[in-house]
Each structure stands twice: as structure tokens, then as C-alpha cells.
Amino acid sequence: MISRNGVRINRRPYVHVDSQTVRDTAMSYRALGILTYLLDQSEDWQVKSEQLSKGEGREGRDAVRKALHELARRGHYRLERRRFRNGQNAMGTAISEFRVEQWAKDYVTFGENLTVPVVEQEDGSFQVHYPDGSFGTDGFTTEAAGAEPDLDDELEEETPAEEPETPASPALKPSQVAKPAAAKKAPAKKATPKASAEEPKEAAAQKAAEKALLDADAEEVAKWWWADAEKRYGPYVGDKHGYLGMRKQVRNALEKGYTKNQCGKALIRAAKHWPSAQQWQDALGIVANHIQPRNAGGRVPYSDAATWGGPGDSTSIIPGATNGPPPSTPADDDHDDATFGIVERP
């Protein structure tokens, strides 16, 4: 202890967090706590707001999502839609214990969306693919490291200290000081009009990219459900625009922040090819844990298929699911050793 009234600390294996991050007064304690928790996880751990909101003393999913957006805004967190050189795609999470200025800028560039597309390069690194087709650093290079401002400060402090040690030459000192100053100002003046001119194009391209992504995700869920519902309930014989109406419901839900997996579960709960608006809203609320299931008689109606499984169960995987659907338990799969029948008595 440095002093008698100082702090005593019990130390164990710890999570390293940059001191500037801890002292960032623009970040809430909630966001700082979630960042610390994420940094303590293994690399194969998947970041999910639903998982972060579970457990005693945890805050709700909406609070967690707001904190993740705050971390993204401060340059500590983002989701990456990764495209690999072999053509495969995957979603992953990027976390930084220090502030990455490029991440904060990308959060604004992509319309305050957590997801940023990145493309694998020949050396195994990644670059961000911007809406205008250009590529930029992913923030993991040394040039984008959070320590860069500190290095600049040190260089600026060292420069005047070294000048007096050089041979006294009044004619050289002004030129030495003026040249770097002019070099620093020139790029700044040239870059400003270019950035301002490209902003409308980037915003329009970003909106188009987001719309295309929403349309593709909605189409994926809708196609899956239309085929799955036909197996469950038979061919659809309702309104000819039923598929389009159902797909629009899914797209609206995705646009509001629901996941593809939640939309799939909600369609299963609604138990209709094309649920009504109220049925759809109730089903989404239940799968997202916003409302409790309601039963008119206070009891859940009995169903052989729901209890034991059967031909009506779908074996297809809901879009966006990380695991397959829970297996049904038909009678053929029973592994009990018990034998049922009439016992003959002597």
C-alpha cells in the first residue's frame, strides 16, 4: 500500500482494459461493464443480447442493445459480416479494449448500424467494404490503434526539446518549423471538400445496401415458412397475395430489430400460413419475451403433436438458428425398458 488509507485489492487473473477507456466520461457505466464482460470471454464465444440479458442482476435485452450501440458509437464494438476468399460468409463480433477511431467513424458511415461488411485479404487480414465500393482499414492495423494519438503527442513534445540542441542557426529554425506545419495543413484542406461531396453518395449507397439485405433476409424466412407451413397445414388456399403479405410482415419485423430466428419462431407460434396483424404481433411479443402467452380458458389446449411429436412436425431449420430444431419424440424413438400389457394372474 502506498498510504495507510489507500485501497487494498484482492487480485486474481484479470481482464485488461485500457486506462483511457475506463476514464472515458462519455461512456456510461453500463456500457463499460458490458465491455469488460465481453473482454473476459473466449474467442469462440458468441455475443448475443439475449444471452447478455439473462441471469440474476442483469438488465433487459433492450438495455443491453442500447449499451452495445453506445460501445459501437465510442469505437469499441461492432458486428462484422465477413466474406472469406473461398466465397464463404460468416457473422462475427469485433471488440476492442481501447477506442478505435475508425470503428466510430464506420458506425456513422453505415447509418449507426452495428453490422459492417469486411472482406478477407490475401495476407489473412480484413478490410471494410464501403457502400461506394471502396475498401478501408478494419481497425486492427497499427495505424488505427487507439495508442496513435498518444504517440503523436509524444513526438510533438520531443520536437521542441531537441531543437535547442541543434547548432544555433536562426535562418534554419523558421524553415524547419514552417515546413512540417504546412505539410500538416495541406492535406486537411484538400480532404474536406472531397469528404463532403461523397457523403450523399455514401448515404444513398448505404440505404440501398441495407434495403437489399432486409429484402434478402425477409425472402429467406418467407420461403422457409411457406414450405414448412404446407407440410404442417397443407397447401395454402387463402388470398392470392398471402405469401407477399406474410413476407411483408417478416420484413417489417426485421426492420424493427427482430432476428430471422425470432421471426421463424413467431410464425410457428402463430400457426398460420399468413397470420393476422394481431396474431403476428402477439407471436413476436411472446418469442421476444415482451409479453406472456395468453390462453382464453387459462389452460393450454392438449395436442398429441405438440406433446409427442408426429407427422405435423417440421424438420427444417429456422433461418438464423445456430442449432437445429429440437427433435420430436415419436413413439418409435422411445428407449424405455418398461413393457405395457395385460398381466396374467394364476
Whether 129 shows a pLDDT value over 90: the answer reads yes
Query: How far is the C-alpha of 121 from the C-alpha of 341, rounded, in Å?
Result: 67
Q: Is the CB of residue 286 less than 8 Å from the CB of residue 292?
A: yes
Average pLDDT over every residue of 72-77? 92
Whether 69 shows a pLDDT value over 90: the answer reads yes
Name the residue among 325, 324, 331 with its Cα closest to residue 308: 331
* Residues 140 and 42 both lie in one domain: yes
* Residues 23 and 130 both lie in one domain: yes
* Residues 125 and 227 both lie in one domain: no
Whether 143 shows a pLDDT value over 70: the answer reads no
Which pairs count as long-range contacts for 33-38, CB under 8 Å and 24+ apart, including other chains?
34/64, 34/67, 34/68, 34/71, 35/71, 35/76, 35/77, 35/95, 35/97, 38/77, 38/93, 38/95
Domain membership flag for residue 321: yes
Average pLDDT over every residue of 32-55? 79
Predicted TM-score (pTM) of this structure: 0.40
pLDDT digits (tens, 9 = 90+) for 151-183: 344 434 444 444 444 444 444 444 444 444 444
Domain membership flag for residue 176: no
* Residues 35 and 145 both lie in one domain: yes
Domain membership flag for residue 334: no
* Residues 30 and 144 both lie in one domain: yes
Domain membership flag for residue 311: yes
Domain membership flag for residue 126: yes
Query: For the residues of 214-272, what is the DSSP string, one character each?
Result: HHHHHHHHHHHHHHHHHHHH-S--S-TTHHHHHHHHHHHHHHTT--HHHHHHHHHHHTS
* Residues 134 and 63 both lie in one domain: yes
The pLDDT value recorded for residue 83 is 93
The pLDDT value recorded for residue 11 is 64
The pLDDT value recorded for residue 173 is 47
| 3-state SS class at 275 | coil
* Residues 224 and 317 both lie in one domain: yes
Domain membership flag for residue 27: yes
Query: How far is the C-alpha of 282 from the C-alpha of 261, rounded, in Å?
Result: 16
* Residues 221 and 144 both lie in one domain: no
Q: Is the CB of residue 262 less than 8 Å from the CB of residue 284?
A: yes
Query: How far is the C-alpha of 81 from the C-alpha of 74, rounded, in Å?
Result: 20
* Residues 99 and 215 both lie in one domain: no
* Residues 26 and 141 both lie in one domain: yes
* Residues 140 and 214 both lie in one domain: no
Among 149, 174, 200, the domain-final residue is 149
Average pLDDT over every residue of 103-117? 91
Report residue 19's pLDDT band, with 50, 70 and 90 as the boundaries: confident
Q: What is the mean pLDDT of the chain?
A: 74
pLDDT digits (tens, 9 = 90+) for 286-329: 888 877 766 544 454 555 554 454 444 444 688 876 655 444 44
Q: Percent of the chain, pLDDT > 70? A: 64
The pLDDT value recorded for residue 28 is 93
* Residues 141 and 262 both lie in one domain: no
Average pLDDT over every residue of 216-235? 90
Grid coordinates of 205: 449507397
Number of structural domains in the chain: 2
Average pLDDT over every residue of 92-96? 88
Among 116, 149, 182, the domain-final residue is 149
Report residue 9's pLDDT band, with 50, 70 and 90 as the boundaries: low
Domain membership flag for residue 65: yes
Would you give the end-to-end CA distance of the chain in angstroms?
Answer: 87
| Domain enclosing residue 302, as ranges | 210-326
Among 101, 131, 149, the domain-final residue is 149
